[in-house]
Amino acid sequence: MSEYTKHCLPVKHVYFEECLNIEDAFLREKQIQGWSRKKRESLISGDYMQLKQLSRKKFWIKIIMVSICPTGYSTTVKHSMMT
């Protein structure tokens, strides 16, 4: 039991997974701890469709447009979110 859990008794176990070894279990625990609350709640409730949607990585791309104008080059930067 962790130090945090010792001070938050009683606790209710709501989810578990079986792992082949302690290293895999530790890595999985750390992975889940890094998730958002909504993502963890989806895992606990077994809502794998929502979990999949929440797992989609979003990232920003930077689009640089260069155009030639009479005074030289003009650069426009546009940011766009990709899913």
- Give the pair of three-digit tokens for residue 25: 């279990």
Question: Tell me: the pLDDT tens digits for 16-33?
Answer: 889 899 999 999 999 999
pLDDT in tens, 46-77: 998 898 888 876 655 556 555 565 566 555 55
Integer Cα distance of 9 and 59 in angstroms: 39
Where exactly are the structural domains of the chain? 3-82
**pLDDT in the model for residue 66:** 59
Report yes or no on whether pTM surpasses 0.85.
Answer: no
Give the burial string for 12-43 (b: 16+ CB within 10 Å, else e): eeeeeeeeeeeeeeeeeeeeeeeeeeebbbbb
Token reading at 70: 């009479």
pLDDT, average across residues 7-12: 79
